[in-house]
Structure 1
């Protein structure tokens, strides 16, 4: 994330990295979707996805039944799975930025 980015949304979230649900903060700016893990997680590497690399989003049910999953698909075929409240708002904002 760059200092010139304009923050659109920010929330506490989890990012699935293998079997670990990494807790942290998800931030959407006009240029990036970024995730920063809490220091207490095993996997703490930051994630920065340029908005221009995002080709789609979809909803999923976390743990098979909790309707709070947000999947983000990138141009290179990677799908990142987040757990975040108000996922519809995230999907709407991402659609606005990627259209």
Structure 2
């Protein structure tokens, strides 16, 4: 595990985040406090997304194009749903489910 700005990184992996019509490519970093998605600069949508772990109320599996089992989602207190595509989703879902189960 690596430290980022004083916070330990639990995951730091390539990912896509669906933002409307675009599957934005970038990196998904999950620290002890938040989920951070940083897009590559070549995307149309380049804003970083940060979700505090304490604001996540739901996490679950999703399939890309309703067929490919490589995605997961998180939903926050505001009702915003973030849809990610990653390799190794079960480990991430397990970690986040454990965290939100403790809150």
TM-score normalised over the length of structure 2? 0.91
Structure-1 residue corresponding to 2:9: 7
Deviation digits for residues 24-77 of structure 1 (CA, Å, limit 9, x no counterpart): 000100001000000100000000101100111010110110001111010111
> Which structure 1 residue ranges, 5 or more long, are not aligned?
none
Structure-1 residue corresponding to 2:63: 61
Paired residues of 1:30 and 1:97 also in contact (CA < 8 A): no
User: d(CA) in 1 for partners of 2:34 and 2:57?
Assistant: 13
Which segments of structure 1 move beyond 3 Å, counting only runs of 4 or more? none
C-alpha root-mean-square deviation of aligned residues, in Å?
1.0
User: d(CA) in 2 for partners of 1:95 and 1:5?
Assistant: 20
Q: Which of these residues, 83, 86, 97, is aligned with residue 84 of structure 1? A: 86
Deviation at 1:96, TM superposition (A): 2.5
Give the paired residue count.
98
- SS of equivalent to 2:5: coil
User: d(CA) in 2 for partners of 1:43 and 1:49?
Assistant: 17
> Which structure 2 residue ranges, 5 or more long, are not aligned?
none
TM-score normalised over the length of structure 1? 0.94
Q: Which of these residues, 24, 27, 32, is aligned with residue 26 of structure 2? A: 24
